[in-house]
Amino acid sequence: MTTTVTKGAVVRCQANGNMEYPFIGTVVKRYENSAWVTIDEFDPRDQMNARDLLFQSVIALKKNDDSQGR
């Protein structure tokens, strides 16, 4: 089942090219196939990655469809 992601939604995100472990984020802006999120909760091992990204990331929505919500 596909969930529509809207601005302000809290999403569970899979590891991607920038973050090595799954993380929790809040959608700032939704694009056609991706979303810009703030990184709210993350694995402590990703502290430097999150800081380097200024606690923001773009995620692919297709990869994250199965893990929406908290």
Q: Count the neighbouring beta carbons within 10 Å of the beta carbon of residue 23.
A: 25
pTM as predicted: 0.79
Q: Closest Cα partner for 24 from 50, 6, 2, 1? A: 50
The residue ranges of the chain whose pLDDT is under 50 are 1, 65-70
Q: Closest Cα partner for 19 from 2, 5, 40? A: 40
Q: Count the neighbouring beta carbons within 10 Å of the beta carbon of residue 44.
A: 7
Token pair in block for residue 36: 């810009």
